[in-house]
Each structure stands twice: as structure tokens, then as C-alpha cells.
Amino acid sequence: MSGLSSMEDFYDSPDVICRHFSNWIDSIRQILAGADMNDELNSFNKALNGTVYSDDGSLWVAMSIAKATLIGILNKLETTEIFNTPYLNDEDVLGADKMSSLYVILHCYENSVRCFIEKILSKALGDNWWEKVANTEMLKKVQRTKNKEIKNKWVSPRGGTSPLYCIDWGDLATLIRNNDKLFLPYIGDIHFIDNRFAQLEDLRNIVAHHGILPSEDDFQRVFISFRDWCRQIGQHKNL
């Protein structure tokens, strides 16, 4: 979480994330209460005491509370299993903790891109927008995912109802590029997508496959790319 606190230096509109933070607070309380973590729950409630969370709240405060909660949980796990993971040392486990901050950013980033694409395309092309823009490989990927979900009913679906949850990061850039006339009013220049998405893909894949980024520069690249996306697209969030 240490890298995540620096996000405030790059992100101009903390209210975008802060708006939904109260739901996160309730979820964390339920998880801690249900996991026999009363000490962690008390610390969490104490951290929130006197804090009024609103649209103009502080992102730094939010992330500090999240960090304190995670540290409390890790401290408890240290006496149980996670620091006794076979073949992993303490440094490996702490590296996983640090990488978790990137997962949060990339989760928000990628799903924001998906929602943006669907809003633009459905608005311009109608309800059957997907059939009009998907190429053969994208259609195959979606069908493979759906077939797996039908076969393995005990596994939760991959994502939302949108087919965009069944395709890859690179496919999202392809959709924007292939329909650039629809997206240019919002992104300004197609190179905005090419430069940031291409640069991010390798880093995103490392996080997705539970690898480790040893360089702080790589963390900053993710933060800056996310910042740029929010700055460029945030003004159109009420489409």
C-alpha cells in the first residue's frame, strides 16, 4: 500500500473514488466481523472515528485507513499461515503486499475503460453494438468464456454482463482504434490510447500473473497512466 498513497500526487479528482468509499467501509466491517478479527475491527472503527467521508474527502485519508487495516490483517496472518507459505520468505510475502496496491489501480483502470467503451459504442450504435464492432477473434474469446461458465457452473462468472469482460486488455485498445471516429471527441488523439495502453500491457500482465515489479519506476508508470486516463476521460463521466 505504500505506493498507493503517492497516487494523490498524480490524481486530480479524488472525489471520483471517494464517492463510493462508504460502501467499501461497510464491506470491510462485515469481513472483519465475520472473520474473528475483533481487534482489527476495533482499530478500523477507531481510525474512522470523527471522519466524515464525502465527495470532497481526502484520498490520502482513505488510503491511510486502507493501509492501516491491511497491516492489521497481515500482522494477524503473520502468526498463522501466510508467512509460512512453503518456499516463500518474508520478503516474498511483503512483495505481494506491495503488489496489491497495483491490483487496485489496474482493477479500477481496466473496468473504467470497459465502461467507457460500452457507453460510447452503445450510444452511437445501439443495443447490438457488440455484433457490429467485434472481430472474429473477439467473438471466439467471448464464446469460449461463456462455454466454460455453462460447463463449470460452480465457478462465478468472469465479470459483468458485458462481453468486454471476456476479452483482453489489448482488445480494448483495438476496439477504440477501429472505431476512432466515435472515440476521438473524448480522447482527443488516438495516440493517447496507443501510447498508454501499449506501455501498460506488459506491466499489467505481470500483475495479473502474480509477478513482482522490482522497480519503483514501474509503479510510477502505472500510477501516471491511470492519472492521465482519469484526467482525459473524467470530464465525460456523465455520458
- Other Cβ atoms less than 10 A from the Cβ of 92: the count is 12
Contact 133, 178 (CB under 8 A): yes
Among 83, 71, 2, 62, residue whose Cα is nearest residue 37: 71
The pLDDT score that the predictor gives to residue 57 is 46
The pLDDT score that the predictor gives to residue 8 is 43
pTM of this structure: 0.66
Cell of 160: 459483468
d(CA 209, CA 79): 27
DSSP string for the chain: -HHHHGGGGT-S-THHHHTTHHHHHHHHHHHHHHTT-HHHHHHHHHHHTT----TT--HHHHHHHHHHHHHHHHHHHHTSSGGG-TT--HHHHHHHHHHHHHHHHHHHHHHHHHHHHHHHHHHHH-TTHHHHH--HHHHHHHHHHHHHHHH-TTSPPSSSSSGGGGS-HHHHHHHHHHTHHHHHHHHS-HHHHHHHHHHHHHHHHHHHTT-----HHHHHHHHHHHHHHHHHHGGGTT-
- Averages of pLDDT over runs of 10 residues in the chain (239 residues) are 43 50 67 68 66 49 60 59 81 84 88 93 96 96 88 71 90 95 92 84 88 88 89 74
d(CA 112, CA 114): 5
Cell of 115: 465502461
Return the half-sphere exposure (C-beta side, CA atoms, 13 A cut-off) of residue 129.
Answer: 17
The pLDDT score that the predictor gives to residue 101 is 82
The pLDDT score that the predictor gives to residue 117 is 95
The pLDDT score that the predictor gives to residue 93 is 81
